[in-house]
Amino acid sequence: MPASAVPTPTLRRLPKYYHYLQRIHMEGQEIVSATQMAEDLGIHHTQVRKDLAATGSQGKPKVGHRVADLLASIETFLNWNTSSDACLVGAGNLGSALLGYSGFDRAGIRITAAFDAHPAKVGKKIHGVPVFPVEKLDEAIRRLHITIGILTIPADRAQHIAEVMVGAGIRAIWNFAPITLTLPEDIIVENVELYASLAIFSRKLSERAKQKA
Amino acid sequence: MPASAVPTPTLRRLPKYYHYLQRIHMEGQEIVSATQMAEDLGIHHTQVRKDLAATGSQGKPKVGHRVADLLASIETFLNWNTSSDACLVGAGNLGSALLGYSGFDRAGIRITAAFDAHPAKVGKKIHGVPVFPVEKLDEAIRRLHITIGILTIPADRAQHIAEVMVGAGIRAIWNFAPITLTLPEDIIVENVELYASLAIFSRKLSERAKQKA
């Protein structure tokens, strides 16, 4: 299936289905219908059916899907059953948390090295991942054939570090820095906009407060 | 300005402008034009002008905006210069990182209490914030008049904890759990979908790999 055929909203919903299916699987449920999923998750049943069809999973009419099969389909579809090596730059609060984040394992991303500009952090291990000086970034990416970069540094250094990453062979960047990176078109960039999310949150709060006043 | 008049994409871009303006302010620049901002940030200049106008900031024709004025306008517009008390439930890796995240301070959110189900964490302070047993959540929200809740717990417990929060007086929830919360309509919910972002990232990586194969 070509990239354009998978709508982004479907991709965004799949982890929700996945977590829900994991839970009912743990509870011992073996078969689930799209109707039950739709009701439990508050998503329209035609949408659930479409999303599951996109993963290639086929249920039995009037019976439903095997929960284990659905979990496997989603894992394969999202590339969560293969593994790629990643490095993380910026071992501050957010970076350190991500080094211990179980979501990466499940998503097939293994962080093998972290980098930081502060000498106090270099040489330590955070959640089992060694921290190297940021000057070694280019060399390490080349030597370890790392293809994924995770950016958890301040906005003013993010573009420079992203360019070093790409120059050394990184093909995909998960960016937590609050800037738009300017990189070659064939580089995959996925932005997690914590500040933007906070901006929306704060603004909605202030609007609500004004409505009450 | 009513809520509906501020487009969400504008809200998402404002933190980018803010970080950019902070940087040039630190570098000693006092005046900036929308044209320069547009070029430096890679956003069309008509868009920059519209976004800045939405914050109520008025530059001088042929001169530009005072950087300090723009920073103040964005802070006020995003409600970042008032302060609200928040609590966080789930002091694991992600939760602990958020307790040390400087973004909250700037966004006018002060986390005064954290809660966790694990006895080992209770009674400690993480980044200066005391951790209480989750059983005390309802009582503490009422006693401290907390209005914002931050959810960093697994999906299967998020709905229950969110209901406890709302029952005790929370009006706005920043949700990191990978589920859609079902709550009264007047509760503000802003979801940060780390898993969904990872899903998109992994899928794009696998599509790219297939294109090359």
Q: Which residues of B touch A43 (CB under 8 A)?
A: 180
B98 is in an annotated binding site: no
* CATH 3.40.50.150 matches B84-196: no
- The share of chain A scoring above pLDDT 90, in percent, equals 53
A144/A84 Cα distance (integer angstroms): 11
B78/B57 Cα distance (integer angstroms): 13
Q: Which residues of B touch A42 (CB under 8 A)?
A: 180, 182
* DSSP strand pairing (A31-32 vs A65-66): antiparallel
**CATH number, domain A3-77:** 1.10.10.10
- The single residue listed with the structure tokens 């194969």 is B213
User: Where does the pLDDT of residue A5 fall: very low under 50, low under 70, confident under 90, or very high at 90 and above?
Assistant: low
B30/B65 Cα distance (integer angstroms): 8
Q: Which residues of B touch A97 (CB under 8 A)?
A: 93-94, 96-98
Please write the tens of the pLDDT for every residue from A6-27: 788 888 889 889 888 988 998 8
The pLDDT of residue A71 is 92
DSSP code of residue B57: -
B213/B210 Cα distance (integer angstroms): 5
The pLDDT of residue B5 is 64
Q: Which amino acid, A178? A: P
Q: Which token pair is A88?
A: 């993380």
Domain span(s) for CATH 1.10.10.10 in chain B: 3-77
A73/A60 Cα distance (integer angstroms): 15
Is A178 in contact with B148 (Cβ distance < 8 A)? no
- Mean pLDDT across A112-116: 96
Please write the tens of the pLDDT for every residue from A175-211: 998 888 989 988 999 888 887 888 888 888 878 777 7
Q: How far is B64 from chain A (nearest CA, A)?
A: 22
The pLDDT of residue B88 is 97
Q: Which residues of B touch A79 (CB under 8 A)?
A: 202-203, 205-206
Is B203 in contact with A93 (Cβ distance < 8 A)? no
- Mean pLDDT across A112-118: 96
Q: How far is A78 from chain B (nearest CA, A)?
A: 5
Lowest mean pLDDT segment, chosen from A93-97, A110-114, B24-28: A93-97
The pLDDT of residue A2 is 45
Q: How far is B155 from chain A (nearest CA, A)?
A: 7
Lowest mean pLDDT segment, chosen from A53-67, A149-163, B147-161: A53-67
Q: Determine the 3-state secondary structure of A137 from DSSP.
A: helix
Strands (E), chain B: 31-32, 65-66, 84-89, 109-116, 125-126, 129-133, 148-151, 172-175, 188-191
A64 is in an annotated binding site: no
Q: How many Cα atoms occupy the beta-carbon half-sphere of A103 within 13 Å?
A: 26
The residue of chain A with its CA nearest to that of B148 is A205
ipTM of the modeled complex:
0.72
* pLDDT averaged over every residue in chain A: 88
- Is pLDDT larger for residue B111 or for residue A82? B111
Of A3, A96, A180, the CB nearest to B16: A180
pLDDT at B3 over 90: no
Assess contact for B185 and B207: CB atoms under 8 A. Answer: no
The pLDDT of residue B210 is 75
pLDDT at A3 over 70: no
Q: How far is A139 from chain B (nearest CA, A)?
A: 23
pLDDT at A80 over 90: no
Assess contact for B30 and B67: CB atoms under 8 A. Answer: yes
- Mean pLDDT across B141-146: 94
Please write the tens of the pLDDT for every residue from B152-179: 998 889 999 999 999 999 999 999 988 8
pLDDT at A167 over 90: yes
Is A171 in contact with B208 (Cβ distance < 8 A)? yes
Size of interface A-B (CB pairs under 8 A): 195
Q: How many Cα atoms occupy the beta-carbon half-sphere of B17 within 13 Å?
A: 39
The pLDDT of residue A42 is 85
Domain span(s) for CATH 3.40.50.720 in chain B: 84-196
- Mean pLDDT across A34-56: 91
pLDDT at A122 over 70: yes
Continuous H helices in B6-130: 8-26, 34-41, 45-54, 67-77, 93-99, 102-106
* pLDDT averaged over every residue in chain B: 88
* DSSP strand pairing (B84-89 vs B148-151): parallel
- Find, among A155, A109, A160, A171, the residue nearest to A135 by Cα: A160
Q: How many Cα atoms occupy the beta-carbon half-sphere of B209 within 13 Å?
A: 14
User: Where does the pLDDT of residue B213 fall: very low under 50, low under 70, confident under 90, or very high at 90 and above?
Assistant: low
- Mean pLDDT across A112-132: 95
Is B198 in contact with A16 (Cβ distance < 8 A)? no
A198/A94 Cα distance (integer angstroms): 15
The residue of chain A with its CA nearest to that of B80 is A202
The pLDDT of residue B201 is 83
